[in-house]
């Protein structure tokens, strides 16, 4: 069963969510840099890739445990399931934004974001 957040609850959770998202994005960038520097070839530095992937998975798992949906590892885009007039919507937040101030329909994605 999905957890539904009010805007206040989603914003109250940001002090917990923000560092997890920051770490997830940082790890994802590091993974990308390592893959780019090796051209995707397996080298001694490739031993870091499983560790980086595991650490990213830990961040994603923690966010999901909180009820937050991870949408984009590169930009730190996450959604908080919510209800609006009895219909499921997603409160949308991206790393770098102050508060949760956007929403969209489940099939609308980032392009369908609307201000609260």
Residue 13 lies in a domain: yes
Residue 21 forms part of a structural domain:
yes
The answer to whether residue 60 is domain-embedded is yes
Output the pLDDT for position 38.
67
Res. 49 pLDDT band, cuts 50 70 90: confident
Examine residue 30 and state whether it is found in any structural domain, yes or no. Answer: yes
Helix (H) or strand (E) holding 91: strand 87-94
Q: Which residues contact 64 (CB under 8 A, 6 or more apart)?
A: 70
pTM of the model: 0.88
Number of domains the chain is built from: 1
77-84 and 69-72 as β-strands: parallel, antiparallel, unpaired?
antiparallel
Residue 1 lies in a domain: no
33 pLDDT above the threshold of 70: yes
Please state, in angstroms and rounded to a whole number, the distance separating the CA atoms of residues 115 and 91: 10
To the nearest 10 degrees (0 to 180), the angle between helices 7-38 and 48-65 is 170
- Give the separation between CA 79 and CA 72, rounded to whole angstroms: 10
Question: pLDDT band at 36, cuts 50/70/90?
Answer: confident
Tell me, what's the pLDDT at 2?
Answer: 74
User: Exposed, middle or buried, 20 (CB in 10 Å: 0-12/13-18/19+)?
Assistant: buried
Residue 2 belongs to some domain of the structure: no
Please say whether the beta carbons of 50 and 63 come within 8 A.
no
Most confidently modeled range among 26-30, 33-37, 47-51: 26-30
| Domain around 94 | 7-115
Q: Does residue 36 form part of some domain?
A: yes
**Within a domain: 107:** yes
What integer is the mean pLDDT of 75-90?
Answer: 96
Q: Which two tokens stand for residue 103?
A: 């929403």
């Amino acid at each position: 069963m999905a957890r539904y957040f009010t805007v206040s609850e989603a914003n109250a959770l940001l002090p917990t969510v923000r560092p997890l998202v920051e770490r997830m994005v940082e790890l994802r960038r590091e993974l990308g840099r390592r893959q780019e520097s090796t051209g995707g070839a397996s080298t001694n530095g490739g031993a870091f890739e499983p560790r980086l992937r595991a650490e990213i998975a830990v961040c994603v798992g923690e966010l999901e445990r909180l009820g937050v949906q991870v949408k984009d590892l590169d930009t730190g885009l996450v959604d908080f399931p919510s209800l609006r007039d009895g219909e499921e919507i997603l409160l949308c937040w991206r790393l770098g934004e102050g508060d949760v101030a956007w929403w969209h329909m489940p099939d609308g994605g980032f392009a369908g974001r609307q201000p609260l």
